[in-house]
Chain A
Amino acid sequence: MKGLIIKDLKLILQNKFIIILMVLFSILGLIFDMDSDFMVAYFTICCTGLAISTCGYDEKNNTVSYLMTMPVSRREYVVEKYFFTSVCGFIGYFISVLIICINSFVFKKSPFEFTSLSFGIFLFLLPSLMIPLNIKFGTTKGRVVSLAVAGIISFIIAALVPPLIMMTKIENVEIVDDVTIAITQVEIGPKSILISAGIVVILLAIYFISMLLSMRIIKHKSF
């Protein structure tokens, strides 16, 4: 596992341009008080994406195949990919939150936007979607399939949400409104905390199901 982490760390350090760009955005974010939604989304997606890009390097020289001949089990390879991606994504998320906190509480620029924190869903969603697809189809096909999956999910949401809202309104159930409020409202109340916690639990469940799926895919894969 330690060897895999070192490998992935060395690999993401190859993307010097993206890392320099992120440092630049951090400085710009502090100077110009950039939009907090953009900051959190950008840093989280960028760091998670950088970590997921190591799958591409692994594929390029058939490195996965070579790694499987080393003292690394297939299960460990999957666990490391999720662990590494999450840690990288969390570092990006933490840096961006730190920048908007400094802007809000130290420099007293714009008020702290709690809604920006919701972009942390990328920490769970990106690896959950991309890692199993990369393992199953490889990075090129995986990217195409992930776009297709994202399209299908968007279509389902677009098709299901309006009737769901209508239905909840008819039955006088306010859950959809509560979720919307939990995501969008600035004030933190017990209801919004509960719903946010519910969302985190669902995201964690998706994350672990995805990890189990990846383990299943790699278990029977021929290299």
Chain B
Amino acid sequence: MLEVKNVVKKYKNFRLNISMEVPSGVITGLLGANGAGKSTTFKTILGLAEPDEGEIIIDGKKIGDFTNKDKAKIGCVMTDSFLPEILKVKEIKGILKASYDTFDEEFFDKKIAQHDISPDKRINELSGGMRAKIKMITALSHDSKLLVLDEPTAGLDVVSREEILAELREYMEKDEERSIVISSHISSDIEKLCDDIYVINNGEVILHDDTDRLLFEYASLKVLDEDFEKLDKQYIIAHRKESYGYECLTDKKDYYLENYPSMVVEKMNLDELMLILYKGERL
């Protein structure tokens, strides 16, 4: 569905150099610290920033050759950008109806009613949660094939976040050809939702794997100073110095469990994994 091929985007103090692929029927997550390049990646995918090198292909077509009809197949949520917030929900609906041939008015009405969003309220009168939901409903309401979601759950409470994730699951269930690429600071959201995850830092992909593998095959090894030198490092991705010795990140948990039975091997969540990737020394 989406191919980002060797895309380079240069700014004054930042360089994005990224390749990624999002097949049909897959939800891909993008994890990274602030300023890692997530939003720049999304902007290049959406054609908002022209790459200096490389190409972006969506549904077999280069983004540069996109017509309005092609653009209608992409739904997006961006943290800092939406239709004018001074307008009422029903006015937003009017704009969408006039802009998208595929706009599903019934779906839009059903969803705003389901989430208790009044059509007569201005967007800037809605709570943060409601605002995030209306952005999401907008992205879902025109039968898009690809959703590009930059921090759609940022700043929301757990209930609102769960409701948004439920909407995304419902979207994916409708059609096997649909895909989502999503970024979030909240790694538990990514963990629950995504099939695979890209971790980026300083504009580059530093890790890509299936979510299941990341959660069940990756692990943290607690290694004492004296054991660290002797440790087989062929499956060590990164390590960092700790008070007791070294914490090492491996993608072959079972190998170390079998070969180093006395070693402490702990499962990691995505936050812990990110921390060692960001703070540790990569091998």
The CA-CA distance from A112 to B113 in the complex, in Å, is: 57
Residues on B with beta carbons closer than 8 Å to the beta carbon of A169: none
Partner of B100, one of A5, A6, A71: A71
Residues on A with beta carbons closer than 8 Å to the beta carbon of B46: 68-69
Contact A63 B76 (CB under 8 A): no
The CA-CA distance from A60 to B84 in the complex, in Å, is: 8
Partner of A71, one of B43, B80, B86, B99: B99
Contact A69 B71 (CB under 8 A): yes
Q: Mark A208-222, 1 if CB is under 8 A from B, else 0.
A: 000000000000101
Residues on A with beta carbons closer than 8 Å to the beta carbon of B84: 7, 11, 57-58, 60-61, 63
Contact B82 A66 (CB under 8 A): yes
Whether B72 sits at the interface, judged by CB under 8 Å, is: yes
Residues on A with beta carbons closer than 8 Å to the beta carbon of B78: 62, 65-66, 69
Partner of B94, one of A6, A61, A66: A6
Residues on A with beta carbons closer than 8 Å to the beta carbon of B21: none
The CA-CA distance from A76 to B71 in the complex, in Å, is: 14
Q: Which stretch in B47-55, B219-227, B269-277 binds the other chain?
A: B47-55
Q: Which residues 70-96 of B have a CB within 8 angstroms of A?
A: 71-72, 74, 76, 78, 80-87, 91, 94-96
A223 → chain B closest CB, angstroms: 4
Closest to A3 in B: B99
| Known contacts A3-B95, A7-B95, A65-B81, A71 near B72 by CB under 8 Å | yes
Q: Which residues 145-163 of B have a CB within 8 angstroms of A?
A: 148
Whether A72 sits at the interface, judged by CB under 8 Å, is: yes
Whether B69 sits at the interface, judged by CB under 8 Å, is: yes
A21 → chain B closest CB, angstroms: 19
Residues on A with beta carbons closer than 8 Å to the beta carbon of B99: 2-4, 70-72
Q: Mark A47-84, 1 if CB is under 8 A from B, else 0.
A: 00000000001101111011111111100100000000
| Known contacts A3-B95, A10-B91, A220-B50, A66 near B68 by CB under 8 Å | no
The CA-CA distance from A206 to B150 in the complex, in Å, is: 41
Contact A69 B48 (CB under 8 A): yes
Q: Mark A115-137, 1 if CB is under 8 A from B, else 0.
A: 00000000000000000000000
Contact A61 B83 (CB under 8 A): yes
Count of A-B residue pairs with CB < 8 Å: 88
Residues on A with beta carbons closer than 8 Å to the beta carbon of B69: 71
Whether A14 sits at the interface, judged by CB under 8 Å, is: yes
Residues on A with beta carbons closer than 8 Å to the beta carbon of B81: 61-63, 65-66
The CA-CA distance from A132 to B84 in the complex, in Å, is: 21
The CA-CA distance from A116 to B201 in the complex, in Å, is: 63
The CA-CA distance from A2 to B80 in the complex, in Å, is: 24
Q: Mark B52-73, 1 if CB is under 8 A from A, else 0.
A: 0000000000000000110110
Residues on B with beta carbons closer than 8 Å to the beta carbon of A61: 80-85
Whether B283 sits at the interface, judged by CB under 8 Å, is: no
Residues on B with beta carbons closer than 8 Å to the beta carbon of A6: 94-95, 98
Residues on A with beta carbons closer than 8 Å to the beta carbon of B95: 3, 6-7, 10
The CA-CA distance from A168 to B74 in the complex, in Å, is: 62
The 5 A-B residue pairs with the shortest CB-CB distance in the complex, in nearest-first order? A3-B99, A62-B81, A71-B68, A3-B98, A223-B48
Interface pairs (25), CB distance under 8 Å = A2-B98, A3-B97, A3-B98, A6-B94, A6-B98, A10-B94, A11-B84, A14-B86, A57-B84, A60-B86, A61-B82, A62-B78, A63-B82, A65-B81, A66-B81, A66-B83, A69-B46, A70-B71, A70-B99, A71-B72, A72-B99, A220-B50, A222-B43, A222-B50, A223-B48
Q: Which residues of A does B touch, CB under 8 Å?
A: 2-7, 10-11, 14, 57-58, 60-63, 65-73, 76, 220, 222-223
Q: Which residues of B does A touch, CB under 8 Å?
A: 43, 46-50, 68-69, 71-72, 74, 76, 78, 80-87, 91, 94-100, 148
